[in-house]
Amino acid sequence: MTAQTIVGKTLHNAMRCFDRHLWFRQAKSMKELTLSIREGKTTVLQKLYDPDSWITANKYREALSKHLGKVDLDAIVEKKASTWIRKTAKYKGKNVLAWDASDIFKPHAQAMQWISKVRDGSTGLIGNGYVVYGININGITHQIDIKDPSIECIGSEKWEIMLKKSALIVDPEETIAVFDRGHDDVGFIDILKELGYHFVVRGRKNRIVQLVSSWNNMKVGTLPYGKYEVMLEWWTHAYLYIMKWTGKKPVILYSSMEFEDDRECLEVYLKRRKIEVDYAKMKSFWLEAVRLLSLQKIVNMMRIIQFLVMLWQDLYNEIMEWIRILPIKLLIRYKEYCRKTRKWMNPSSLLSFISEHLPSINLFDRTQVPKNTLFGNRRTMKKVGLI
């Protein structure tokens, strides 16, 4: 069984969520868009992107675009994300909730210029595009949305709504919210504390804090390396960590939690990079070629791409679980096999390794194997000699 077959079957199984909430033609359209996006800029997407295609293709594209503008995929995708999040492993007993915003640059989408103007982080230029913001929990991007161009910024009401949605999946008292300097806002921190979340945020060096030890107001940039107990604006209590990182500049972190080791606070903060990786994946789905004039259509297109990114992350997590239960000597041999054959550690290479080198050895304890897994059910695994 090749990796392409495994991913394809898993994708078709996951797309059943559209059948349960949409009527037949809508579900079929969403499935066709999802499959064509996975394949790249081909088939349906080619018809959806190209304005100069044949008449029949234009009609087909109009039908897909019409359904894309009428359905509401928010609840469907978020419900699927909550199912996958419940399977993910916590970080030392705590969930990690990463909040971040990103610009997705669209240099060729002139038809979208009225929707939003964004700054491209790589070039520093202002161009046509839209701003995306979302929440990632334990590596799964649970919520994602596009900023409404009619408002200047994302307000506290939107923050609170999204955080309350996340609180329905994970316990806020067992969750650490992690965000960057762009969201270093005391109002946002107060919302987190009211809902019961812990937080770790990267701060600015020009912020004025009040040291609890002396009650003196100090500029963060003038403090030496170390841990401090401080009060932020509006009497918000926090712990301040100033430590060395890459380069000459120190990293400044605020947290509601007191860590025994300062590096553990930095390790939690670095978990925020998972949502940035997801944004990078979303930018690779030919978004610059989409020509959609409705904000609802663009949001739904982003939801479909979010669905694919979440599915890939869930597949990766399941692969890592299978690799983790391999005996240590067998795991070393498998990694050596991947290095020699120049293969990635994925389901395809794992099955190839098993079939070539260990055809008659029961690798897994039957009690450790779930009833339905990435490789099929227990009966199938028993036939091929895995259990």
Domain spans, the chain: 87-277, 325-383
- How many Å apart are CA 171 and CA 187, to the nearest integer? 21
Fold of 87-277: Transposase Inhibitor Protein From Tn5; Chain A, domain 1 (3.90.350)
- How many Å apart are CA 360 and CA 383, to the nearest integer? 11
Query: pLDDT tens across 294-349, in order?
Result: 778 878 888 888 898 888 888 878 777 777 776 777 778 888 888 888 877 765 67
List the chain residues with pLDDT less than 70: 1-6, 38-58, 103-129, 148-155, 234, 286-293, 326, 346-348, 351, 355, 358-387
- How many Å apart are CA 316 and CA 87, to the nearest integer? 12
pLDDT reported for residue 105: 57
pLDDT reported for residue 241: 92
- How many Å apart are CA 367 and CA 344, to the nearest integer? 28
pLDDT reported for residue 14: 86
pLDDT reported for residue 368: 58
pLDDT reported for residue 42: 47
Question: For residue 353, what are its two tokens?
Answer: 């390794």
pTM of the model: 0.74
Q: CA distances (Å), 335 to each of 115, 240, 255, 314, 324, in order?
A: 48, 41, 38, 21, 12
What residues form DSSP beta bridges with 40?
none
